């Protein structure tokens, strides 16, 4: 009586045939040619070197305490797995002086399809005291399409702070986008020289409506609210007495 092959046996045979078929060209081409071909194949499936430069916010802001030009942008160069990042943000107040300015230089490594781990340095050019920081953080896409950028900073004075930013894009039409954004800043200990208290010291909540004439160019309008908390609010009150609040913003979002 002939024996009928079982499903596991058939599976093993097909697996073996498939494995041989994947490398069938090795029998006809030399090792150097095959190595070059495989390298090109990998390059076409995620190993290309690409780049992106994006100005998330380039805007004019006005409220009861004064006017300001605000910028926030980032760019990267690398592959799907490894990238070098540059991030910058700041504020130019009343057409007179730069009130805040920082620059980050980071290396990132993809740890999943939606998340990168980042590490590098940050330098604060303004306000004084000018500080340098070590940075470790993560950036990616959370469930329900929330974009998240979170980082820990260790300053050259040994102070530890954290920043968490999240935003969401709601497409009202193909070109009209509503974008809420939330930023939270925390400190592990007080830093009176920098005017920062322990715990939650700063929060920004914003809402922008942009119109994408092209994906690369989108003017927007919106509102922004910023507040200081705890000991930080007391320090700000003692220094200049200017409490933050609501601002009207208008600007452009650009990328290349």
Under a CB-based contact definition with an 8 Å cutoff, are residues 155 and 131 in contact? Answer: yes
pLDDT, tens digit (0-9, with 9 covering 90-100), for 150-191? 999 999 999 999 999 999 999 999 999 999 999 999 999 999
Largest CA distance in the chain: 98
Structure tokens at 30: 């030399």
Binned at pLDDT 50, 70 and 90, residue 109 comes out as very high
- Residue 30, pLDDT above cutoff 90: no
Mean pLDDT over the full length of the chain: 89
- Residue 64, pLDDT above cutoff 80: yes
- List 72's β-bridge partners, or say none: 57, 89
CA distances 157 to 132, 133, 137, 153, Å, are 9, 9, 20, 11
d(Cα 92, Cα 101) in Å, to the nearest integer? Answer: 9
pLDDT, tens digit (0-9, with 9 covering 90-100), for 42-60? 666 667 899 999 999 999 9
Which string of b and e fits 97-134 if b means at least 16 CB within 10 Å? eeeebbebebebebeeeeebbbebebebeeeeeebebe
pLDDT of 246 reads: 94
Under a CB-based contact definition with an 8 Å cutoff, are residues 51 and 77 in contact? Answer: yes
pLDDT, tens digit (0-9, with 9 covering 90-100), for 116-142? 999 999 999 998 889 999 999 999 999
Identify the residue with better confidence: 245 or 24.
245
- Residue 2, pLDDT above cutoff 70: no
- Residue 96, pLDDT above cutoff 90: no
Rounded average pLDDT over 199-226: 97
pTM: 0.82
Structure tokens at 130: 């000018």
Which string of b and e fits 177-187 if b means at least 16 CB within 10 Å? bebebebbbbb
CB-CB neighbours of 67 under 10 Å: 13
At residue 40, φ and ψ (nearest 5 deg) are -65, -40
d(Cα 223, Cα 49) in Å, to the nearest integer? Answer: 37
Grouping H, G, I as helix, E, B as strand and the rest as coil, residue 197 is: coil
pLDDT of 20 reads: 53
pLDDT of 204 reads: 97
Residue ranges of domains in the chain, CATH in brackets:
7-47 (no CATH), 50-255 (2.40.160.40)
Binned at pLDDT 50, 70 and 90, residue 14 comes out as very low
pLDDT of 8 reads: 52
Binned at pLDDT 50, 70 and 90, residue 69 comes out as very high
CB-CB neighbours of 251 under 10 Å: 22
d(Cα 176, Cα 174) in Å, to the nearest integer? Answer: 6
Structure tokens at 100: 């805040």
- Residue 148, pLDDT above cutoff 80: yes
């Amino acid at each position: 009586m002939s024996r009928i092959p079982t499903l596991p046996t058939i599976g093993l045979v097909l697996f073996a045939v498939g494995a041989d078929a994947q490398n069938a060209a090795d029998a006809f081409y030399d090792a150097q040619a095959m190595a070059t071909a495989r390298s090109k194949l990998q390059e076409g499936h995620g190993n290309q070197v690409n780049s992106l430069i994006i100005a998330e916010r380039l805007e004019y802001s006005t409220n009861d305490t004064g006017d300001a030009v605000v910028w926030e942008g980032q760019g990267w160069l690398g592959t799907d797995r490894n990238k070098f990042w540059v991030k910058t943000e700041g504020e130019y107040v009343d057409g007179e002086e730069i009130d805040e300015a920082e620059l980050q230089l980071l290396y990132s490594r993809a740890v999943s399809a939606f998340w990168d781990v980042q590490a590098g340095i940050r330098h604060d050019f303004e306000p004084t005291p000018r500080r340098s920081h070590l940075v470790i953080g993560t950036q990616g896409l959370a469930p329900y399409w929330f974009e998240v950028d979170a980082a820990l900073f260790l300053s050259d004075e040994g102070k530890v702070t954290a920043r968490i930013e999240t935003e969401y894009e709601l497409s009202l039409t193909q070109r009209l986008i509503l974008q809420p954004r939330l930023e939270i800043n925390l400190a592990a200990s007080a830093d009176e020289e920098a005017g920062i208290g322990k715990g939650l010291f700063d929060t920004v909540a914003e809402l922008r409506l942009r119109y994408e004439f092209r994906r690369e160019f989108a003017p927007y309008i919106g509102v922004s609210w910023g507040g200081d908390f705890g000991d930080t609010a007391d320090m700000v009150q003692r220094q200049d007495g200017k409490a933050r609040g609501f601002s009207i913003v208008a600007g452009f979002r650009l990328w290349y």
